[in-house]
Structure 1
Amino acid sequence: MPVFFAFASVVLYALFAYDLVRTEYTKLIILYALLFVVFYQLLKRHSGNFKLLVIFSIVLRVVFLLATPNLSQDFYRFIWDGRMILEGFNPYLFTPESFISMGQFPVAQAQELYQGMGTLNASHFTNYPPVKQIIFMIAAIFSGKSILGSVVVFRVFIIAADIGTLYVGKKLLEGLKLPVHNIFWFILNPFIIIELTGNLHFEGIMIFFLLLSLYLLHSGKWKTAAVIFALSVSVKLIPLLFLPLFLQYFLKNNQSIDLVKNGSNSSSTSPLSFTKLIGFYGIIGITNLLLFAPFYSSEFIYNYSKTVGLWFSTFEFNASLYYIAREIGYRLTGYNEIAIIGKYIPLITIFTLLILTFFRKNTTTKQLIVSMLFAVSIYFFISTTIHPWYLATLVILSVFTNYKFPLVWSFVIILSYLAYANSGNTENLWIIAFEYLVVYAVFIWEVFIKKDHREAVFQIKKC
């Protein structure tokens, strides 16, 4: 059976990597569904064979090594930004279109990169944080004139990060006294392999830093954890959502006692406090300022904030509750009110974070991770744009909880790619409705109906 699973997985992933165009929606759905079937059977039958699953995890990623991503165009912009840095340009101050429209080609293969990334991407300023920019630059150093060469460099970084996540995730699961094979719900998940290794999305690197930070914090090393957390933010901004949730963890955490009982060095596990919380936030802030400093200018601040704001006021893709609000806006005014609706998304997100921070127990690492899971879930539920790879954060957090709705979502999210089945790349709202009907059904059942989960969710802080 292991040989069969290995062979079947390699063949299916090879077909996905080298013989699939994203407009071939029937083939896309069939391959994806088969990969999930093999993935589920593999974990069901061989969850106790940790070394075997580790080998599978690496081999299945290597299958993609020489493949050009076929479901996303973002990697063309990654290459552009990296080569811009090597040419002495600040990538935050120029759009690709500003050069191409004037007949200027500042980097090697500029025209090909411009066409590959598409006019929408090329017309906006980059919003990729500095750690990603460093990796882009490294790819430019090693492969300044080959798109495939740059792709391979990116993929090596992402595979290395996934291996790091596998190692750190196992250590954290052991520390939390959870089954170590849970980490493979992330590592071997076809969604993760395809979206991160296959399509070159850097959530995998962000997740590695985030998980390492949580592990270090669980071990009492809050200063190092703060630096690593800052690196996570400097890959993707999403971990900023979690900062308020650390309040109770630092003020009322009794983890140091547990660590001392287990024979840990008491000097490195001294009780956390409000002073250390301020230090934790301070280290994160200073580290990020230092990372952004080489790119700083007044134009950078304006361009970066403007580009990030587009996700709330302009872009729409695979949304759920927002589409309902948009339809109500159409009925009332006859117009798309995204600019108005988008202003409320940060407010609702902040309100949710305040509830999770002050009215839910977050004094242990397990409780903290559950709150993180709900914070990101609610943010995604109300967002205007949910690209498939965003869900990687939900999937890794679910590994350390009893919740499975992120895994279900990682399966049905493939339906969002059906938008590319037509020339206008327009979404079929009935398909989106079906996707979220499944997700919300599982979410409601796990959170509000299933007894063991309700006990975990509603561990409200006693006043």
Structure 2
Amino acid sequence: MLFWKLHKAPLLLTFVSLFLYFLFAYDLERIQYEKLLLLYSALFGLFVVLLRYTKTNFRLLVSIAILTRLVFLIAIPNLSQDFYRFIWDGRMLLEGFNPYLYTPESFITKNEFPISQAKELYNAMGQLNGSHFTNYPPIKQLCFAIAALISGKSILGSAIVLRVIIIVADIGTLYFGKKLLEKLNLPIKNIFWYILNPFIIIELTGNLHFEGVMLFFLVWSMYLLYSKKWKWAAAVFACSISVKLIPLMFLPLFYKWFMKRPLDCARGDNQIIKIKELSGRAESRPNNFTKLFWFYSIVGITTLSFFLPFFNSEFINNYTKTVGLWFNNFEFNASIYYIARAIGYAITGYNEIAIIGKILPVLVVTYILVLTFKKNKGEANTLVTYMLLSITIYLFFSTTVHPWYIATPLLLSIFTNYKFPVVWSFIIILSYLAYININTMDKSENLWIISVEYIVIFTAFFWEVILRKKLPLE
């Protein structure tokens, strides 16, 4: 009773949240757009209020984070069908097939069924998933195989195993995220803007997207790097890449950490110690280039070693071709790309995605290189800030922005001054309404809804990054 009296408000908020999460998991279909918006908005509002009431009660918030995830434990994802392809790939591995060499469609069209429930999985995963080679890296494939091994022929069983893996990864992110915040002298409560966010709970635990596993390895790697264990940091960073390729874009930024740091941090604290003054400027640490070289070497060798069991010339062709589709063929919920596409239509009368899709990545790489060689003190929080800005610009210029992609900027933001990804994590729900059109025969995206979404996002971004001129923490 005493516990109830002391925590009545947060407990009531928690009970209501758990009930709404239950409705979201077991009583919602994707096409129920009004219900989707109402539930998500209510959950987000409760999340913000809950943080205000309990921001100092770490154990209670951790308990709530775990409970909200367990609500989804036996649910079949209702906003994404990607997990059916996950199950397909895992079962293919157990049957001795290289999942990178075959499309599900190549079997089904020949009336061949290499795995149990092949036809059911193919029909459920959708034509887009079924007609392309897999682009999921090796550690992610390992998770699929584990799910197939444990669950046997049960689709629900596979979903439960995958969900447990993602929940465990989130707990790991909570653990290392807290330790990294302590290293950076930032409020520990910041971690809950990620770990308790309804967007993260629904998209990762609920819809079984593996950004959470990738981010677990990423934040672990950053903690190790800041603890001066850069060799282990490189190996763990390679694990992050081997879940999803996104961290590859951050590699140039480590040049700043190893080569542009005139100051060194003592192990275990945030005290900055000058190594040596030379001509009025602090001299870089000795052997920084050697450390940088070995950091990149460890990342490269470890990543390649994960891919090695699947390696052959056909794999390289299939994998690069599939990854290239995300830049040159697919388009969904984009922002700047859609503006460029409209200009292309006006000039040529055609969709110029093949051309635009090649130009936009060049602009992103150019921006990352500018950040890499921009003058700063090279401390960990500056590095994370530049990671955040890099992934943000990448998403702004992407041809395809699925909701779960926002998990990366959201996590990185908790280690910086910026909070626009929190706004993004709320407004991104509109992307599920993109195909609402008055004419039901029109299957194209509703650009008015996308416009509203990005007006809010760009407003928050420009307000924080440009108008308020918030700088990376020093």
- Give the shorter-chain TM-score range: over 0.9
Give the 3 Å change call, closer, same or farther, for CA 165–271 of structure 1 in structure 2.
farther
Residue type at the aligned position of 1:334? G
**1:240-299 per-position Cα deviation (integer Å, ceiling 9, x unaligned):** 010000112112336644327679xxxxxx977110000000000000111000000100
Relative to 1, partners in 2 of residues 1:260 and 1:120: Cα closer, same or farther, differing over 3 Å? closer
Contact 2:385 2:416 in 1 (8 A): yes
CA contact (8 A) 1:245 1:371 kept: yes
* Distance in 1 between residues matched to 2:39 and 2:62, nearest whole Å: 23
Alignment of 1:347-362 (within 5 A): 347-361=362-376
Corresponding residue of 1:433: 451
Question: Aligned residue for 2:133?
Answer: 125
Instruction: Give me the whole-angstrom Cα distance separating, in 2, the residues matched to 1:341 and 1:349.
Output: 13
Q: Residues 242-257 of structure 1 correspond to what in structure 2 (within 5 A)?
A: 242-253=250-261, 256-257=264-265
Within 1, Cα distance between the matches of 2:196 and 2:424?
15
Partner of 1:52, secondary structure, is helix
Q: Is the 8 A contact 1:36 1:411 kept in 2?
A: yes
Contact 1:319 1:382 in 2 (8 A): yes
Cross-structure match for 1:22: 30
Give the aligned partner of residue 465 of structure 2: 447
Q: Which runs of 4+ in 1 moved over 2 A?
A: 252-263, 419-426
Letter of the 1:307 partner, please give it.
T
Separation in structure 1 between the aligned mates of residue 239 and residue 428 of structure 2, nearest angstrom: 28
Is residue 310 of structure 2 the alignment partner of residue 295 of structure 1?
yes
Tell me which amino acid in the other structure corresponds to 2:134. Answer: T
Partner residue in 1 for 2:177: 169
Q: Give unmatched runs, 5+ long, in structure 2.
A: 1-8, 272-284
Report what 1:412 is aligned to: 427
2:60 corresponds to 1:52: yes
Q: 1-side partners of 2:394 and 2:88: how far apart? A: 30
1:130–1:235 contact (8 Å) kept in structure 2: yes
Contact 2:253 2:371 in 1 (8 A): yes
Question: Which residue of the partner structure matches residue 281 of structure 2?
Answer: none
Query: How far is the alpha carbon of 1:456 from its aligned partner?
Result: 3.2
Cα deviation, residue 402, structure 1: 1.3
1:218–1:255 CA contact under 8 A, matched in 2:
no
Match of 1:267 in 2: none
SS of match in other structure, 2:338:
helix
Correspondence 1:72 to 2:72: no
Paired with 2:456 and 2:216, the residues of 1 have a C-alpha distance of: 29
Alpha-carbon separation, structure 1, partners of 2:303 and 2:461: 34
1:179 aligns with 2:195: no
1:220 alignment partner, one of 204, 225, 228: 228
Is residue 318 from structure 1 mapped to residue 336 from structure 2 by the alignment? no
Shift of residue 346, structure 1, vs aligned partner:
1.9
Q: Which amino acid aligns with 2:420?
A: F
1:421 is displaced (CA, Å) by: 4.4
The answer to whether residue 472 in structure 2 is matched with residue 456 in structure 1 is yes
When normalised by structure 1's length, the TM-score is 0.95
Cα distance, 1:361 vs structure 2: 2.0
Q: TM-score, normalization: structure 2?
A: 0.93
- Asked if the contact 1:22–1:420 (Cα under 8 Å) also holds between the matched residues in 2, the reply is no
User: Are residues 169 and 260 of structure 1, via their aligned partners in 2, closer, same or farther at CA, if it must alter by over 3 Å?
Assistant: closer
CA 1:255–1:33 in structure 2 vs 1: closer, same or farther (change >3 Å)? Answer: farther
Partner of 2:122: 114
Is the contact between residue 245 and residue 362 of structure 1 (CA under 8 Å) also seen in structure 2?
Answer: no
Counterpart amino acid of 2:339?
I
Matched, 1:88 2:103: no
Distance 1:360 1:64 in 2: 46
CA distance 1:177–1:76, change in 2 (3 Å): same
**Which residue in the other structure is 1:402 paired with?**
417
**Gaps (5+ residues) in structure 1?**
264-269
The separation in 2 between residues aligned to 1:108 and 1:295, in whole angstroms, is 22
3-state SS, counterpart of residue 319 of structure 1: coil
Deviation of 1:318 (Å)? 0.3
**Aligned residue runs from structure 1 range 276-295, under 5 A:** 276-295=291-310
Q: CA offset at residue 44 of structure 1? A: 1.0
Of 316-325 and 271-280, deviating more is: 271-280
Match of 1:236 among 236, 244, 259: 244
Give yes or no for contact 1:67–1:198 (8 Å, CA) kept in 2: yes
Q: Residue 2 and residue 346 in structure 1: after superposition, are their counterparts in 2 closer, same or farther (change >3 A)? A: same
Structure 1 residue 350: Cα displacement: 1.2
Q: Distance in 2 between matches of 1:293 and 1:172?
A: 32
